[in-house]
């Protein structure tokens, strides 16, 4: 019987390239697209102090694992955004998909080799998932990018989108002038891309092929009336319904407005079941008000598996709502990390 491998934070710093992470997660969504039973929606609870814990369950039998990822943060809701005074180590638990043996425990935030010191909540998995969804929906000739956000998630996402498209021009907007300037200098140098910090949301949203919203905002960050034919939008803010029902905040989080939803010809999503369970503001509420129908949403797993179509015409406006991390992505990424750690001879064998 093989021993369980314990992997600690020092071993996973910059352990994968973003390209490797994207391909691992793409494979996970492909499996899920073929077999709907290998993934469950993320579950989340909040305790009265504002600390939340999330659990993501999924299986990736193609790479021999099943299991879960869990993470915990101290969340502080503000008037228009959400901050995290304390981020704690996530944990991935991997079992053998054939016999159920405990294969590995990975403790810590996985970072990519391009940004080894960039810490964001499940940053690599989130960015890689966004890249997979963007890849199946955005025009193949997309090369101009408008980014909302300038911190950890935005940095990971720019690296990820530069993997799937030949990005030549980037405009970045965030409310903090210094942050967007620093983002432009750091990421432009890293990727050898011309990045222009802009002073208004409208400037970031127009004259681009892809709009990426990777923020901690709780309100819409741009006006859907600005969307131009052929543009693709990717958004990552999920749900805070637990905070609303627990009395911590009054309103659900939004990152995109109803106009963006109504103008999108194709709406891709990571998980419809997640949107229903969490009553997500960007999706659930527009459905409840009759702006869109559930039948219009297309999960990206079936698109990757060839069961559904995504974009069919270049002039269509498309949207990918990366509406919560899915366990199938976490265990797929975890399996890749565990393999790399074993190949390096790192990690601690547990005789249990």
Q: How far apart are CA 203 and CA 196, in angstroms?
A: 10
* Statement to judge: residues 277 and 256 lie in one domain: yes
pTM: 0.94
Q: Please tell me the number of Cα atoms within 13 Å of 91 on its side-chain side.
A: 9
Give the residue with greater pLDDT, 80 vs 199: 199
pLDDT averaged over every residue in the chain: 94
Q: What is the signed CA dihedral for 212, 215, 220, 226, rounded to 10 degrees?
A: -30
* Statement to judge: residues 262 and 189 lie in one domain: yes
Residue matched to tokens 């905040």: 249
Q: How far apart are CA 91 and CA 110, in angstroms?
A: 10
pLDDT tens-digit series, residues 317-335 = 999 999 999 999 999 999 9
Give the residue with greater pLDDT, 119 vs 26: 26
Query: Distances from the Cα of 116 to the Cαs of 19, 83, 86, 88, 181, in angstroms?
Result: 14, 22, 20, 17, 21
In a domain, 124, yes or no: no
Contact between 230 and 209 (Cβ < 8 Å) = yes
DSSP string, 274-306: HHHHHT-TTTHHHHHTTSS-GGGEEEHHHHHTT
53-59: average pLDDT: 97
* Statement to judge: residues 316 and 341 lie in one domain: no
* Statement to judge: residues 11 and 110 lie in one domain: yes
327-338 in b/e burial notation, b at 16+ Cβ within 10 A?
bbbbbbbbbbbb
* Statement to judge: residues 178 and 83 lie in one domain: no
Contact between 215 and 238 (Cβ < 8 Å) = no
In a domain, 163, yes or no: yes
pLDDT tens-digit series, residues 292-305 = 999 999 999 999 99
109-129: average pLDDT: 95
Question: What pLDDT was estimated at residue 224?
Answer: 98
Contact between 210 and 142 (Cβ < 8 Å) = yes
CATH code of 289's domain: 3.40.50.720
In a domain, 333, yes or no: yes
Whether the predicted pLDDT of 82 surpasses 70: no
Contact between 82 and 238 (Cβ < 8 Å) = no
In a domain, 114, yes or no: yes
Among 202-206, 250-254, 310-314, where is mean pLDDT lowest? 250-254
pLDDT confidence band for 46 (50 / 70 / 90): confident
Question: What pLDDT was estimated at residue 1?
Answer: 59
pLDDT confidence band for 78 (50 / 70 / 90): low
* Statement to judge: residues 261 and 151 lie in one domain: yes
* Statement to judge: residues 138 and 282 lie in one domain: yes
pLDDT tens-digit series, residues 263-319 = 999 999 999 999 999 999 999 999 999 999 999 999 999 999 999 999 999 999 999
Q: Three-class SS of residue 33?
A: helix
Question: How many domains does the chain contain in total?
Answer: 2
98-110: average pLDDT: 97
* Statement to judge: residues 17 and 166 lie in one domain: no
E strand intervals along the chain:
4-7, 43-46, 51-60, 65-77, 82-87, 91-96, 102-107, 144-148, 169-173, 194-197, 210-213, 232-235, 266-269, 297-299, 318-321, 348-350
Whether the predicted pLDDT of 199 surpasses 90: yes
* Statement to judge: residues 296 and 253 lie in one domain: yes
Question: What pLDDT was estimated at residue 155?
Answer: 97
Domain that holds residue 147: 129-321
Question: What pLDDT was estimated at residue 165?
Answer: 98
* Statement to judge: residues 89 and 211 lie in one domain: no
146 bridge partner residues: 171, 211
Give the residue with greater pLDDT, 51 vs 216: 51
pLDDT confidence band for 48 (50 / 70 / 90): confident
Whether the predicted pLDDT of 84 surpasses 90: no
* Statement to judge: residues 183 and 307 lie in one domain: yes
CATH code of 27's domain: 3.30.1780.10
* Statement to judge: residues 249 and 298 lie in one domain: yes
Token readout for 157 is 């996402």
Q: How far apart are CA 220 and CA 224, in angstroms?
A: 9
In a domain, 51, yes or no: yes
In a domain, 161, yes or no: yes
In a domain, 112, yes or no: yes
Give the residue with greater pLDDT, 112 vs 240: 112
In a domain, 74, yes or no: yes
Question: What pLDDT was estimated at residue 339?
Answer: 97
Question: What pLDDT was estimated at residue 218?
Answer: 77
Nearest alpha carbon to residue 44 among 236, 185, 240, 225:
240
151-179: average pLDDT: 97
Q: How far apart are CA 316 and CA 319, in angstroms?
A: 10
Whether the predicted pLDDT of 87 surpasses 80: no
Question: What pLDDT was estimated at residue 237?
Answer: 80
Q: How far apart are CA 149 and CA 147, in angstroms?
A: 6
């Amino acid at each position: 019987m093989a021993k369980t491998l314990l992997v600690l934070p020092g071993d996973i710093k910059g352990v994968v390239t973003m390209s490797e992470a994207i391909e691992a997660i793409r494979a996970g969504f492909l499996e899920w697209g073929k077999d709907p039973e290998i993934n469950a929606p993320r579950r989340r609870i909040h305790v009265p102090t504002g600390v939340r814990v999330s659990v993501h369950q999924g299986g990736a039998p193609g790479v021999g694992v099943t299991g879960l990822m869990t993470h915990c943060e101290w969340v502080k809701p503000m008037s228009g955004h959400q901050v995290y005074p304390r981020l704690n180590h996530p944990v991935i638990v991997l079992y053998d998909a054939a016999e159920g043996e405990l294969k590995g425990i990975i403790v810590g935030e996985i970072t990519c080799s391009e940004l080894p010191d960039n810490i964001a909540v499940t940053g690599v998995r989130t960015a890689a998932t966004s890249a997979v969804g963007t890849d199946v929906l955005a025009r193949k000739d997309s090369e101009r990018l408008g980014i909302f956000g300038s911190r950890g998630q935005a940095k990971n996402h720019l690296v990820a989108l530069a993997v799937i498209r030949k990005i030549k021009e980037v405009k970045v907007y965030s409310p903090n002038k210094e942050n967007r300037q620093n983002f432009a200098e750091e990421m432009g140098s890293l990727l050898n891309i011309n990045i222009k910090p802009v002073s208004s949301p409208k400037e970031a949203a127009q004259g681009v092929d892809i709009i990426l919203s990777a923020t901690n905002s709780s309100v819409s960050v741009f006006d859907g009336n600005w969307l131009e034919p052929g543009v693709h939008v990717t958004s990552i803010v999920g749900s805070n319904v637990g905070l609303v029902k627990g009395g911590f905040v009054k309103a659900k989080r939004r990152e995109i407005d109803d106009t963006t939803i109504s103008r999108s010809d194709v709406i891709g999503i990571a998980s419809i079941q997640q949107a229903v369970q969490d009553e997500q503001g960007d999706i659930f509420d527009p459905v409840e008000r009759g702006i869109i129908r559930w039948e219009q949403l297309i999960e990206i797993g079936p698109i990757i598996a060839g069961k559904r179509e995504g974009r069919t015409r270049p002039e269509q406006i498309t949207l990918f709502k990366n509406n919560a991390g899915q366990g199938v992505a976490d265990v797929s990424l975890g399996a890749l990390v565990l393999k790399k750690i074993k190949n390096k001879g790192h990690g601690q064998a547990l005789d249990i």
